Structure 1
Amino acid sequence: MTDPKLLRGKPGVLSTLVKAALPAVPGVNQLPGVKKAPRDQFTGLSYAREGAVAERSEVDRYAGVCGFPRKDTVPLPYPHMLAFPLHMAIMSDPAFPFPAIGSVHLENSITSHRPIGVGETLDIVTSVGPARPHAKGTVLDFVTEVRSGDELVWESTSAYLRRGRGDGSATSGLSIPGTPTGGIQWRLPEDLGRKYAAVSGDHNPIHLYPLTARALGFPRHIAHGMWTKARCISAIENRLPDSVVVDVAFKKPVFLPGTVAFAVASEGRNHTFALTNPKDGSPHLVGRTTAL
């Protein structure tokens, strides 16, 4: 894999959406600067941000949408907000062989090595290698490392599924047995996707309005997967140690508006949790935490 490309500044919402959408448009996707590289030639891609600051105003807005209290340290999943522009830069790069539209966020794992202070300056690198086989297609692992100076303070892996001809011998993804069901119910408002988009920068049309979601094959718009993970973490964050791994698998979409049920089971310092449909118990998200 080559050295990371440096991302300077924050890309605009409109330009990001256009870059993400054009490779999925027949004809347009063959134009220079839009055409994607052949999949069998992809060896990897990496982007970096230097001097990203966890600004108080942005941290507080994120915390408010996701249910975290106001503190002098950032919510455990917050660095994903600083890394998301790198995800989009990679997906929009012609060297990346897949269009951003149609990628399904399948799993996410976060490792927090220590709390990150509000106002702390961070250097971030996100990298992705060649796709690996999956039972329903292929998966690309976006690996992010966040450093404060030379210290690795936070890292994550986001697995994105590209549906297609699967490999029956390949794994079907993360399995977390024994996750609880039932629990407290949360009513999610119709505008949740737009509120989270405003603080995260993820303006994927499937999350915004029924009309924009229907254009991409959904009956109505759905909550962001990383919002569901963040909301679950906020419900148990006072139980988590400073050094912890939080793994989740995204199962079924949460349609907006809607009602979900959150439940957690604890064993010592570790926890399993789930976000389910309160009517039939089917999972939207299953997760676990592992103390380091």
Structure 2
Amino acid sequence: MTSLTDPTTVAAALRAAGCVFAEDEADLILATAGTPQELAAMVARRAAGEPLEHVLGWAGFHGLRVQVEPGVFVPRRRTEFLVDQALAQAPGASVVVDLCCGSGAVGAALAAALGDVELHAADIDPVAVRCARRNIAPYGGHAHPGDLYDALPTGLRGRVGILAANVPYVPSAEVGLLPAEARDHEPLVALDGGGDGLDVLRRVVAAAPEWLAPGGCVLVETSERQADTAVDTFTRAGLTTRLAVSEELYANVVVGVRD
């Protein structure tokens, strides 16, 4: 009988379940599982459609291994572009805020690159905050539960050098069209951006100028079709605005700077 510990057998089981990158996923699962029983459970979870990152307990992001637990939004590779844009815009930032932080991947990546910073992360989902707290702890970061700016210490007003907000931007009517991995396993609050997908973005941008330091920047990811409206929202808030696009990553990031 072929053992499930055999990479070929694991890959075959994953491929039969519809995993496109079955061989790569098999290698990762085999390297992560501590016992044959744990391996079997992980393969079963992945075959049932659970996101690979939830099965592994971590996600690769901007050179880091970020802890991700079930029920937490999985950081996307395209969001690495937001991190890069933030670092290019404010390489000397000393205060960083990661709003709608999910796992805290963006904040952790920024702190890892910038060095000695004051880092705060916030999310309305307590499961996400618990996860983020672990990921930003190595950088002395603080994770706060609450709705956007309501979660932050008031002493941050006017001091933030980088305000990164990976807001939900899927229009409510289109959430049901998302891949099952996201639709069934990630929190709705991390996906649903309201009627046109920009409800949370508008709230973030409207209040951003009072939290940013002079020369500080706010960055938000959005979709290509929403980009023009998002740019207009930033401009109306009095921010000097630009749109950064990565065709390779299918990423669109709006950057606004407080003069």
TM-score (norm 2): 0.26
TM-score (norm 1): 0.24
Which of 1 and 2 has higher RCO (CA within 8 Å, sep 6+)?
1
More helix by share: 2
